[in-house]
C-alpha cells in the first residue's frame, strides 16, 4: 500500500465545500468516488483543510493510500479524466507512510478578493466579493496589524464550531491593491471556521468607517463573535497554499 500526496485546484462554486456530505456534492466526495473506483475498494481521502461551500482553492493538499501501483503522472491523469473540469489534480507524488495532509501542515495561506469597480468582470465574478465604493486601505492595514501574532480568535469564528481551542497564530495579514481589486492575504498556522471571512468582513467595516481600527484589538480581546464584523461571502475566498 502506497501513500500519495496530491495538490488540488478547484472552483468551489458548485460544491458544498470540501468535506463529504450526505446530501450534496463536495470536493472530498468527488475525489473519494474516483479513487475508490480506480483502486477497486473504498479509499479515504485526507485533506489539509475543510474549505466551506463556495470557497475555492489553488493549492489544497490531500493524501490517500492505494493498493494498486500507479505511476504518479498516470494516476494524476486518471483522476482528472474522471472529474468535472472545475476540479483538477495539479500534481501527484509518493510520500512517506506517516505523512498526513492535515496533521503535518505547518501553515496555510488564504486570499480574500474584493472587487471595487462599478462593473465586475465576467472572468472574475465567481471569485470576488463585489463591493462598490471606496475602501480606506490605510485604516484596513492599521486594523490588520492588531490581529497579527498568537491570539484567541474566538471573536472571529462561527458559534457553531465544535473546536474548543481558538488560539491560532497569524504570521501575515497584508492588504494589497491590484487594479480593481483589494486583496487580503492571510498566512497562519491554522484557521478556524469562517475566520478569514469574518476578518475580511471586519476589515471592510473599518474601511467603510463603520468600525475604527483601534476597536479591532478590543474585539479580538473580547472573544465575542457578536462584536466582530459580518462574515464576508464565501466566493471571495481562495486557499492559496499549504506549507509543510
Residue 67 is among the residues annotated as catalytic for this protein: no
**Does residue 76 contact residue 35 with C-beta atoms inside 8 Å?**
no
Q: Is 63 exposed, middle or buried (0-12, 13-18, 19+ CB in 10 A)?
A: buried
CA separation for the pair 235, 233 (Å, rounded): 6
CA distances from 175 to 133, 178, 198 (A): 17, 10, 15
Rg from Cα positions in the chain: 19
Q: How far apart are CA 141 and CA 23, in angstroms?
A: 40
With contact defined as beta carbons under 8 Å apart, do 17 and 51 qualify?
yes
Other beta carbons less than 10 A from residue 214's beta carbon: 12
Out of 11, 39, 52, 162, which one is annotated catalytic?
Answer: 52
User: Hey, which residues does 165 pair with through a beta bridge?
Assistant: none
Which residue, among 100, 90, 109, has the nearest Cα to 48 in the 3D structure?
100
Alpha carbon separation from 21 to 32, 101, 158 (Å, rounded)? 12, 20, 19
By annotation, the residues acting in catalysis are 52
Amino acid at each position: 500500500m502506497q501513500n500519495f500526496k496530491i495538490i488540488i485546484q478547484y472552483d468551489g462554486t458548485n460544491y458544498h465545500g470540501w468535506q463529504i456530505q450526505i446530501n450534496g456534492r463536495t470536493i472530498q466526495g468527488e475525489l473519494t468516488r474516483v479513487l475508490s473506483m480506480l483502486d477497486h475498494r473504498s479509499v479515504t481521502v485526507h485533506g489539509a483543510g475543510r474549505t466551506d461551500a463556495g470557497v475555492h482553492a489553488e493549492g489544497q493538499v490531500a493524501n490517500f493510500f492505494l493498493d494498486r501501483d500507479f505511476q504518479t503522472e498516470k494516476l494524476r491523469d486518471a483522476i482528472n479524466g474522471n472529474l468535472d473540469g472545475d476540479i483538477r489534480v495539479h500534481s501527484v507524488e509518493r510520500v512517506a507512510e506517516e505523512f498526513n495532509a492535515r496533521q503535518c501542515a505547518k501553515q496555510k495561506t488564504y486570499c480574500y478578493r474584493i472587487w471595487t469597480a462599478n462593473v465586475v468582470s465576467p472572468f472574475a465574478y465567481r471569485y470576488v466579493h463585489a463591493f462598490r465604493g471606496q475602501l480606506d486601505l490605510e485604516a484596513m492595514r492599521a486594523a490588520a496589524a492588531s490581529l497579527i501574532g498568537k491570539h484567541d480568535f474566538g471573536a472571529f469564528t462561527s458559534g457553531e464550531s465544535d473546536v474548543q481551542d481558538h488560539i491560532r497564530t497569524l504570521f501575515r495579514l497584508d492588504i494589497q491593491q491590484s487594479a480593481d481589486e483589494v486583496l487580503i492575504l492571510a498566512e497562519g498556522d491554522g484557521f478556524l471556521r469562517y475566520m478569514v471571512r469574518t476578518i475580511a468582513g471586519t476589515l471592510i467595516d473599518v474601511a467603510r468607517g463603520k468600525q475604527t481600527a483601534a476597536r479591532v484589538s478590543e474585539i479580538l480581546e473580547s472573544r465575542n463573535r457578536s462584536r466582530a464584523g459580518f462574515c464576508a461571502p464565501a466566493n471571495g475566498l481562495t486557499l492559496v497554499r499549504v506549507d509543510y
